[in-house]
Structure 1
Amino acid sequence: MGSTLIEKIWRRHEVAVLPDGASLLYIDRVLLHERTGSIALKSLAEAGRVVHAPDQALVCMDHIIDTFPGRTDQTLMPGGTAFIQETRASARAAGIEVLDIGDPRQGIVHVASPELGVAQPGVTLVCPDSHTCTQGALGALAWGIGSSDAEHALATQTLVVRKPRMMRVRFEGAPTAGVTAKDMILHLIGRHGASGGAGHAVEFSGPAVEALSIEARMTLCNMAVEFAAWTGIIAPDAKTIAYVEGRPFAPTRAQWPAALADWADLHSDSDAVFDTEIVIDAADIAPTLTWGVSPQHALPVTGMTPDPVAQEDATVRAAMERALAYMGLEAGQALEGLPIDAAFIGSCTNSRLSDLRAAAAILKGRKVAPGVRAVCVPGSTQVKAAAEAEGLDGVFRDAGFEWREAGCSMCFFAGGEHFSSQQRVVTTTNRNFENRQGPGVRSHLASPATVAASAIAGAIADPRKLGAA
């Protein structure tokens, strides 16, 4: 019997099998950010332990820092300045490199790591952040951990992990015009539920996945955790190799032949057995967005909100009623045409250059509707610079968007900045939980094209009507 991709990477990194069946895995990379990094580093120092391999760790300033031009250590989050300064001091004391404010490499950790070549095929990579699975798009085994596990990984370069079950999600066929990776993952979660991947590591595959760019694959893997999966991964291919080659932390030219040989077997064998398989016809997917307070509350942009009365399960019915009430919606209400107050493009899900290009293609020559606040936050300083070199910043500004510095920003309320209570926001982020983007804020998850189209219309809009490719 053959092996899955994840099983192959697992075996390469398995130091020992423990008496209870869990594995001790070697960890190649440990990533930190200022919201949780200071906790792990400070605790490690207080215990008198040192970082085992500081050259295999990296700190990104992204979560708490603000994204206003001319930013400093001062931040809108109460106590946030201390987090920033303590993380910086602790990292430097431990000998860990910091992608700091003002560093041209700074960015959201899950954006900066791939673009610098830190994430590579076949490596194990952890970070105290749930969306670490983003980097599975490069064929890395990447997952989110807590601060205690981060401390353990820093001190020992290992972690005790219990092997998850294996799931393969195949997207067959080809999506129609205007359908993106964001629509694909929202469609999956909407159809199979926010707990559909629980207990599993998910490998995304199939012709529609192979056709995606590396950046789009990152969007797909980013939201594996919203499917309750332990991680998401995509087998590396020629696109992956081309993406990694030449990046600052990638194998050097002298190391490159050995790296290619090492990566050659990083795919699931034809006779590999998965515990669960899901097949989706990509042609069935339309531009998709959420209506409620979970990523599983997802519908085509042309859809209508569900009726809780139709649900036999009392718990499900009550949750749907609560979601509709929070979102200020009624059963059977059309999503398209629903007036909005704000539009947000950013986050580790959809803030890469290709995402900004897709939005700019919709925005060019058009204006944001009166009364709509529109904000764009590039995922990294490199993305921002590249977008500005192409003139995309001018497109966003001319349309009426705020153009920001790189960071997590209003993906979540913990950064300090937020939208106002009961404002309806169409957003490229990954979570639409209650109060996620501010107390009482009503968030609809969508692709960059859908957000841009909605900002122009002043209401939820179908991007295909504005020429989305």
Structure 2
Amino acid sequence: STIVCGDSHTSTHGAFGAVAFGIGTSEVEMVFATQCILQPRPKTMRITVDGRLGSGVTSKDMALYIIAQLGTGGATGYFVEYAGDAVRALSMEQRMTLCNLSIEMGARGGMVAPDQTTFDYLKGREFAPSGKEWDEAVAYWRTLPSDDDAVYDCEVRFDAADIEPRVTYGTNPGMGIGISEPVPLPPDDAAARLSFEKALAYMGFRQGESLEGQKVDYVFLGSCTNGRIEDFRAFASYVKGRRKHPDVTAWLVPGSWKVRRQISEEGLDKVLEEAGFEIRQPGCSACLAMNDDKVPAGCLSVSTSNRNFEGRQGPGARTVLAGPLVAAAAAVHGVITDPRKS
């Protein structure tokens, strides 16, 4: 299927093998009127991640790693297909997170070819075919993956062993480091250096320093990147038996009412409540400072959302992007913490 929507993170649907991308309002009008859309054909890029992710490393960390390697414009003009053993090992929800962030490196969209993981996830769902129609659908879906001899305009390869929990230090998703790494030195290019120094000044960080131990004021778990049930399971698994740090304000926001119901059905709400957390009403919330969910100026937020631009979570707010485990560790310890160590 081709799926379009007036939201750049429509690329999330690429996890199901769909060609999914965001469009503008005039294009939405075109689709409503004709069920067609005129688009230039994008170039193709395959990003292969070999090996296996380490313990405590999530698909969010994989995505932030790839964006840091390629840059926020590294996939501009391309539609990305993710491949490799590390990608195949991801659950559907983890694949959604990976595809969701494709847009943050400039890609038109991102996708993972459908496989048995896809079919197992879809089977029995409300709008999925059933009986003979299901068998026919799966038989067709199995024809969709790229041919073994497919040629891409660009091929990029990474090793999953090089990926650790990630955090951002600047004001775009590409300004990220492994949690054990120091803030890097500025680039040589004069214009890039100016932008780099401006970002560090806004965030209040210095080159060469570690982000581990930085005081955290807010933690946000949610958004279309990390507001799914598996994200809440991961967060709850870390905080179980612990307590939220008294100096941290934590906003835990399910991505939908269905996720909210699952949280209750699985008893995760009780685990979170016992640890001092509160589940908020589903929605976009602090991802883009919607309604009253704004991080105050100067405060540092560890956020599982997708963007960390100046003012994204509130005027003057400072945002560190991370995965749900890093967010959980920050909420418990009150400082940026490697979840593998604690």
Q: For residues 79 and 190 of structure 2, what CA distance do their matches in structure 1 show?
A: 30
Contact 1:373 1:401 in 2 (8 A): no
Number of the residue aligned with 1:352: 228
Number of the residue aligned with 1:227: 105
State the shift of 1:261 in Å.
Answer: 2.3
- Percent identical residues: 48
State the shift of 1:228 in Å.
Answer: 0.5
State the shift of 1:402 in Å.
Answer: 2.5
Q: Deviations over 1:125-154 (max 9, x none)?
A: 111000000010011111001111111101
Secondary structure of the residue aligned to 2:45 is strand
Structure 2 residue corresponding to 1:405, chosen from 256, 262, 281? 281
Q: For residues 419 and 455 of structure 1, what CA distance do their matches in structure 2 show?
A: 15
Instruction: Write out aligned runs for 1:152-167 (5 A).
Output: 152-167=30-45
State the shift of 1:176 in Å.
Answer: 1.1
TM-score for the superposition, normalised by structure 1 = 0.72
Matched, 1:327 2:200: no
Matched, 1:210 2:56: no
Secondary structure of the residue aligned to 1:375 is strand
Matched, 1:338 2:214: yes
Number of the residue aligned with 1:265: 143
Q: For residues 383 and 263 of structure 1, what CA distance do their matches in structure 2 show?
A: 27
Match of 2:52, as an amino acid?
A: A
Number of the residue aligned with 2:244: 368
Q: For residues 135 and 329 of structure 1, what CA distance do their matches in structure 2 show?
A: 35
Number of the residue aligned with 1:431: 307
Matched, 1:169 2:44: no
Secondary structure of the residue aligned to 1:160 is coil
Structure 2 residue corresponding to 1:178, chosen from 56, 68, 75? 56
Q: Deviations over 1:319-345 (max 9, x none)?
A: 110000100111211110110101010
Q: For residues 330 and 313 of structure 1, what CA distance do their matches in structure 2 show?
A: 19
Matched, 1:278 2:156: yes
TM-score for the superposition, normalised by structure 2 = 0.98
Q: For residues 148 and 89 of structure 2, what CA distance do their matches in structure 1 show?
A: 20
Contact 2:183 2:211 in 1 (8 A): yes
Q: For residues 293 and 59 of structure 2, what CA distance do their matches in structure 1 show?
A: 27
Contact 1:374 1:400 in 2 (8 A): no
Match of 2:64, as an amino acid?
A: L
State the shift of 1:413 in Å.
Answer: 2.3
Q: For residues 259 and 224 of structure 1, what CA distance do their matches in structure 2 show?
A: 27
Q: For residues 153 and 364 of structure 1, what CA distance do their matches in structure 2 show?
A: 47
Contact 1:303 1:336 in 2 (8 A): no
Q: Deviations over 1:61-104 (max 9, x none)?
A: xxxxxxxxxxxxxxxxxxxxxxxxxxxxxxxxxxxxxxxxxxxx
Number of the residue aligned with 1:452: 328
State the shift of 1:346 in Å.
Answer: 0.2
Larger Rg: 1
Match of 1:463, as an amino acid?
A: P
Instruction: Write out aligned runs for 1:39-50 (5 A).
Output: none
4+ long deviations beyond 2 Å: 413-417
Secondary structure of the residue aligned to 2:328 is helix
State the shift of 1:276 in Å.
Answer: 0.4
Q: For residues 407 and 396 of structure 1, what CA distance do their matches in structure 2 show?
A: 19
* Structure 2 unmatched runs, 5+: none
Structure 2 residue corresponding to 1:314, chosen from 163, 167, 190? 190
Number of the residue aligned with 1:383: 259
* Structure 1 unmatched runs, 5+: 1-122
Q: For residues 249 and 293 of structure 2, what CA distance do their matches in structure 1 show?
A: 14
Instruction: Write out aligned runs for 1:98-247 (5 A).
Output: 123-247=1-125
Q: For residues 189 and 437 of structure 1, what CA distance do their matches in structure 2 show?
A: 21
Instruction: Write out aligned runs for 1:58-77 (5 A).
Output: none
Q: Deviations over 1:393-419 (max 9, x none)?
A: 122222222211211111102445311
Contact 2:286 2:294 in 1 (8 A): yes
Q: Deviations over 1:401-442 (max 9, x none)?
A: 221121111110244531101110001000011100000100
Matched, 1:422 2:298: yes
Q: For residues 176 and 456 of structure 1, what CA distance do their matches in structure 2 show?
A: 22
Q: For residues 194 and 272 of structure 2, what CA distance do their matches in structure 1 show?
A: 41
Q: What's the Cα RMSD here?
A: 1.0
Number of equivalenced pairs: 342
Match of 1:218, as an amino acid?
A: M
Q: For residues 288 and 156 of structure 2, what CA distance do their matches in structure 1 show?
A: 31
Contact 2:284 2:290 in 1 (8 A): no
Q: For residues 51 and 174 of structure 2, what CA distance do their matches in structure 1 show?
A: 23
Secondary structure of the residue aligned to 1:277 is strand
Contact 2:45 2:153 in 1 (8 A): yes
Secondary structure of the residue aligned to 2:308 is coil
Secondary structure of the residue aligned to 2:37 is strand
